[in-house]
Structure 1
Amino acid sequence: DILEEMGPDEAADLLADLPKQTSTQLLELMEDEDAADVRSLLRYPEDSAGGIMTTEFACVPDGLRAAEALEYLRRSPDAQDDEAMYYVYLTNDTRRLCGVISLRDLVMAPPDAPLDAWIQREPVAVGPYTSQEEVAYLVAKYDLLSIPVVDEESGELLGIVTVDDAIDAVLPTAWKKRLPRFF
């Protein structure tokens, strides 16, 4: 139950640190959908974009108007699970990444307006095997709050790496211990 309450990326990190037999047993106890999310993350190297990404992010079908996109998000379980919704990703029916819009731009767009005027059609993205250092570099270079992780062949949106996970992945452990805890 505890693993299912964690985000899939956090559960995958925890299971990766356990002996193989123990992590396999724990995965078998999880709900099928939750276990599938965690298994998909465990197949990537720990120091790659796939290893630090989360599969909980907000996406809407491409081609919606602003009001339709907002309503879609209100009803979407994926959006409800997204604790750090900075961007909304637009995908086609095969989950290929078609663009991205900031949540602010989506909220400010006229309700009946097609989102095309606000969408960034070719967002900065990384593949699942991109190094965590490269992910952090791109997040910093383009001042991003999250970066999409896409399959290099199909263009399918696999997950996102949030800025905090990108920074956490490259900060030396000694620095992390010196940082004050606020909560």
Structure 2
Amino acid sequence: MRIVLVLLMLLPASHMRAAEGCVDVWFTRNLIMDRAGYCFGSPLGQALFDNSDCTGAQIQLDPASQALVSRIRALEAQHGCQIDTSRHSLDIEDIAFRRVLRDLPIRQDGQWGCLGWTAAETPLYDGYTEPLGAIGQVTPGDYVLFEHEGVAGGNWVYVTVHHPSWGAFKSAGWMYWTDRMPCASEAG
């Protein structure tokens, strides 16, 4: 166990983020496939997605979904992503929120944190296209992590929210913001 901890401390931070990013984009890609009716055969796919309403292994994706899947596959190839699909779980803190999203986020290489939200309560939504459904919120003092690509001119971004000082995970969703982020301080 000690050797593993020492090795993890020696790995560059970008490698750690790349591994997390691979899990993130794998889940997004397969959530798209699940919604289109794909029947999962791997233990991981069956553990994370509901095969009760699947239609087969050969599915038709709409053009927007196909473009998103192709883009994710290119990211996975670029980063050499390899997910062990013999597992039965993934460590994705916002998985419950991701399941209800209408518009799915794409993980980016960098990340940025707002340490101490200073604005009023701000709603988080299930997508960035109408109709918007509130699924969470950012409240004053929260820490907000930005690690997904912005859309619609960068004004919409998918965020995860934590209790202050990177405490427990709290919420997630799409946020609309046009001004400078109201943060006590920033990291990243």
Q: Fold match, TM over 0.5?
A: no
RCO greater where, 1 or 2, for CA within 8 Å and sep 6 or more?
A: 1
TM-score (ref. length: structure 2): 0.30
Q: Which has the higher helix share?
A: 1
